[in-house]
Amino acid sequence: MPVNMNQAFRDFSRYAVATPQLKAIILLIVSGCFSTAAISADMPTDVSTDELNKQPTEVAHSTAATNLTLAQQANLRNKLYRQALYFYFEGDYNAALSQVSLNRQRFDADTAKSHLFEAGLQVSIGLHHQATETLATFEQALIQQQANDKLAGLEPPTEDKQGSKTATSADELKLIALLQLSEQQIEQGKHSAAQQTLANITQLPASYAEQYQILHQLAYWPASVTPSAKILDESYAGSNQADTELTAKSSLSAYVMLNQALQLMQAKDYQRAETLLVRIKNINLAATETNFWQSLFTEKSPQQRAQVSSKNVNKEMTDISIMTADELKADKQIQQQAINDYAQLLLAQMYVKQGLYQAAFDQLQDFPEHSPYTESALFLFAFSAQQVKQYDTSLALLDLLKRDYQYSQLGWQSALLISAQIKQQNTLSESLYSYQQAEQLYVEQLADLARFHTDIKQTELTPLLFNSNVNAQTGANSQWLQKALENPELKHDIDTLSELSLLTSNIDRQQQKNAWIKESLTLNKQRQARIIEQQSQTQYPELIQQLTNQKQLLAQKITEAEAQENADVFANDAEQAWLKRVNESENIIKAISGQRSTEEYQQRLSRVKAVLNWELQQQFPQRLWQHKKLLKQVDQQLVLVSQQQQRFAQLANSQQQTTAFEQRQAQAETRLVTTTQNIAALEASIKAQIQQKISVFVSEQQIQLEQLLLASRHEMAAVLEQMSQPVINGEEL
């Protein structure tokens, strides 16, 4: 107690300053109780006792939510959704997904758009099954939202004056959801489910027509079924009537046409297939335009997710690309060349299948050197050349294949084809030499393969497989490894391993965070105990009661002063001194009144007293008001202090909230351990599978090489037999 309250109240003449002192004392108590909150504000890592015992999610968020109007809720939901959107555009897909989930859990912010966004994010990070489930419940969420919006009086999204959409309409969202759901179903091999999903689309804008057509083709593959949905654009719908009339507005159209050509070839309708393939071969593609939602539903590889590049991402519902303009241009060129080359190769294959070797030969003459299909085209070109008796060309091509594609089956087969051609055109000894060379190639490759298998079994897989420069690596092992990785299943396993590695790092970070939370909780618990101990040393209830009594006494005195209009009560120090002197003077006059004439003194004192009283009366209303006001403030502060004291006592006696935090932390710890174990188990299982698949790959390659080796030896034997035949004949003759 820095001020002696009894002393303050002892002298009524001191009353004028007593009220502010009382207020100051109460404020000291208040600030004492608030000290923890003040520390909490300055030191966020060290949370105060009372704040620690609060459950914010339950207190603030839930109670606030009930008071909101529907329009305000819609506005808040939109803002929360945009927070997730920021993470998405920033490239942090996990954070975006967490934010969506957080919005739902904390603020009940669940909209149709956020559902679709969540599904897209799930696809982005490879959660296909969950995405399917989210998409399947989308329609219900959409209906719910439409009902809520109607209740809130919110208008559905419309187009602005410039015609660009400010938001996605409900119908469009539904269409996107259906398209993506069917894509996920196709991805998971559920083709009939995909067909049913696509059947729910009755009409669609032209901008989604190509995506719809491709999904339709894939869902019904290999059957050719005409899409039933109506396309809401006459020019497009007209062009869609006949397959062959389709124009390639974008690369998507070209893919549709390629699939159609494949279907025609399968149906042996070579004439129409040829027309279509010729068109695709010469097609000039327009840039593929993908909007926000289409881009969202593209799965990002673990590497893409791990390494957030500084590429740009465009705005929702406008053309979007994650590439810069130069990269886009380069990508478009690559896509265009791939499509054109593929059509050309397919055309040549179709000719070969029909026995039109000259046409195939002519077709492949101008096939580009640098193409993903060069190897296949080269082999087909060599084969066609052989068939049309262009032996020099075929020999040169086969030799090129043998040299450049040493680890490819086509390269190995070329060695035998060369020997066969030499056998046909040259002498038997030259042919024998050629077969010997082929045999040597197979023997060397077999030895190389065995070495690779031994090495891979003895090497730790992870660093070897995760080396980003596998393709750039030289040496036989990396060549075999590259070839093995052409198996999609093996590649998928390695991607899975890579994802598990990222998840392990993530879990490590979470474990660190959890440990930190645990430490914080322990520190706060200690701090809480220390504060309770400190507070218990002062008897706050008694002190508050004492102050309340004093306040009541003061209130009574003010009331009395008001009733009696006693201005002396509010006199300040100087006036008190004057009043005291007047009293003393009166006493002195009384004492000397019998001894001498005091009339003059009495008159002078009366004049002074009158002036003093007049001054005090002048100040009386103002001073009375001031003191009443101060008393009211004191009263309020006392109420606050009393409430805080009660709250503190309540919290001090209850450790419930701290325990709740500790329980949550402990649960998280348990889950972290379980997840770590699950990751380790899956990692071990995948590594074993990878080893097994590499063994299968090695044995497949061995079988192929051994068969080729056997074939070459058979041929050698045949040549030797032929070489020995004239001699035998001669002997016989």
Partner 1 sequence: MNNTEQGTGQGTGQGTAQGNTVKSSTNFKIWLTLGLFIAIFWSAMQPSSALANTDNDASANAITNGSADSQSQIASELENIKSQVIKLNRDLFILEEDLLFPASTQIAVFVSVDIGRFFTLDSVELKINQQNVAGFLYTQRQRRALEKGGIQKVYMGNLKMGQHQLTAIFTGVDAEGRTVQRAVTHQFEKTDETVMVELKLEDNESSYRADVKVEEWVL
Task: Tell which positions 34-53 bind partner 1, by CB under 8 A.
Answer: 34, 37-38, 40-41, 44-45, 47, 51-52
* Nearer to partner 1 among residue 109 and residue 231 (C-beta): 109
Near partner 1 by CB under 8 A: residue from 116, 118, 126, 449: 126
Q: Rule CB under 8 A: which of 473-492 touch partner 1?
A: 486-489, 492
* Nearer to partner 1 among residue 311 and residue 604 (C-beta): 311
Rounded to a whole number of angstroms, the minimum distance from the CB of residue 269 to partner 1 is 15
214 binds partner 1 (CB under 8 A): yes
Q: Are 470 and 485 in contact (CB under 8 A)?
A: yes
Beta-carbon contacts of residue 473 (< 8 Å; ≥ 6 apart) = 467, 481
286 binds partner 1 (CB under 8 A): no
Nearest to 483, CA basis, from 462, 452, 460? 452
728 binds partner 1 (CB under 8 A): no
Near partner 1 by CB under 8 A: residue from 311, 590, 607, 629: 311
Interacting span for partner 1 (CB under 8 A) from 6-14, 238-246, 294-302, 530-538 = 294-302
Q: In Å, how far are 114, 240, 462 from 79, measured between CA atoms?
A: 11, 41, 43
75 binds partner 1 (CB under 8 A): yes
Q: Rule CB under 8 A: which of 562-601 touch partner 1?
A: none
Write out 176-212 in H/E/C secondary structure: HHHHHHHHHHHHCCCHHHHHHHHHCCCEECHHHHHHH
Near partner 1 by CB under 8 A: residue from 206, 232, 313, 400: 313
Near partner 1 by CB under 8 A: residue from 195, 510, 546, 548: 510
28 binds partner 1 (CB under 8 A): no
Q: Are 641 and 29 in contact (CB under 8 A)?
A: yes
* Nearer to partner 1 among residue 8 and residue 201 (C-beta): 201
Rounded to a whole number of angstroms, the minimum distance from the CB of residue 443 to partner 1 is 17
Rounded to a whole number of angstroms, the minimum distance from the CB of residue 573 to partner 1 is 34
Near partner 1 by CB under 8 A: residue from 349, 445, 528, 550: 349
SS3 322: coil
Q: How far apart are CA 733 and CA 294, in angstroms?
A: 82
29 binds partner 1 (CB under 8 A): no
569 Ramachandran zone, left/alpha/beta (phi>0; psi -120 to 50): alpha
Q: How far apart are CA 624 and CA 630, in angstroms?
A: 10
Give the position of tokens 């002195």.
588
Rounded to a whole number of angstroms, the minimum distance from the CB of residue 629 to partner 1 is 21
Each residue 633-672 as x (binds partner 1 by CB under 8 A) or -, in order, gives: ----------------------------x--xx--x--xx
446 binds partner 1 (CB under 8 A): no
Near partner 1 by CB under 8 A: residue from 112, 186, 248, 544: 186
30 binds partner 1 (CB under 8 A): no
Residue 707 CB neighbour total at 10 angstroms = 12
* Nearer to partner 1 among residue 60 and residue 720 (C-beta): 60
* Nearer to partner 1 among residue 10 and residue 82 (C-beta): 82
602 binds partner 1 (CB under 8 A): no
Interacting span for partner 1 (CB under 8 A) from 268-276, 374-382, 432-440, 575-583 = 374-382
165 pairs with which residues across the strands?
159
Q: Are 376 and 410 in contact (CB under 8 A)?
A: yes
Rounded to a whole number of angstroms, the minimum distance from the CB of residue 56 to partner 1 is 3
* Nearer to partner 1 among residue 187 and residue 562 (C-beta): 187
Helix (H) or strand (E) holding 231: strand 230-231
Q: How far apart are CA 628 and CA 556, in angstroms?
A: 11
Q: Are 637 and 472 in contact (CB under 8 A)?
A: no
Rounded to a whole number of angstroms, the minimum distance from the CB of residue 590 to partner 1 is 58
329 binds partner 1 (CB under 8 A): no
Nearest to 609, CA basis, from 586, 589, 582, 630? 582
Beta-carbon contacts of residue 247 (< 8 Å; ≥ 6 apart) = 239, 253
Nearest to 37, CA basis, from 493, 647, 581? 647
| Total residues in contact with partner 1, by rule CB under 8 A | 145
Near partner 1 by CB under 8 A: residue from 33, 116, 123, 204: 123
What single-letter DSSP state applies at residue 320?
Answer: B
What single-letter DSSP state applies at residue 584?
Answer: H
SS3 290: strand
Q: In sequence order, which ranges of 565-598 are alpha helices (DSSP H)? A: 573-592
Q: Rule CB under 8 A: which of 146-185 touch partner 1?
A: 183
Rounded to a whole number of angstroms, the minimum distance from the CB of residue 726 to partner 1 is 25
Rounded to a whole number of angstroms, the minimum distance from the CB of residue 21 to partner 1 is 24
* Nearer to partner 1 among residue 52 and residue 544 (C-beta): 52
Near partner 1 by CB under 8 A: residue from 218, 461, 532, 582: 218
Interacting span for partner 1 (CB under 8 A) from 68-76, 193-201, 549-557, 622-630 = 68-76
Torsion, Cα of 448, 452, 455, 460 (10° steps) = 160
Q: Rule CB under 8 A: which of 377-436 touch partner 1?
A: 379, 383, 410, 413, 416-417, 420
320 pairs with which residues across the strands?
290
Rounded to a whole number of angstroms, the minimum distance from the CB of residue 228 to partner 1 is 20
Q: In Å, how far are 145, 173, 189, 205, 607 from 170, measured between CA atoms?
A: 10, 5, 28, 13, 92
Q: Rule CB under 8 A: which of 225-284 touch partner 1?
A: 251-252, 255, 258-259, 262, 265-266
Residue 485: phi, psi to the nearest 5?
A: -70, -5
- Tokens for 127, please give them: 């959660």
Each residue 676-695 as x (binds partner 1 by CB under 8 A) or -, in order, gives: --xx--x--xx--x---x--
Q: How far apart are CA 644 and CA 261, in angstroms?
A: 81
Q: How far apart are CA 693 and CA 683, in angstroms?
A: 15
189 binds partner 1 (CB under 8 A): yes
Near partner 1 by CB under 8 A: residue from 30, 70, 127, 723: 127
Angle between helices 374-387 and 391-404 (to 10 degrees): 150
Nearest to 181, CA basis, from 145, 224, 138? 138
- Tokens for 279, please give them: 């068109």
Rounded to a whole number of angstroms, the minimum distance from the CB of residue 670 to partner 1 is 11
* Nearer to partner 1 among residue 602 and residue 689 (C-beta): 689
674 Ramachandran zone, left/alpha/beta (phi>0; psi -120 to 50): alpha
Rounded to a whole number of angstroms, the minimum distance from the CB of residue 2 to partner 1 is 23
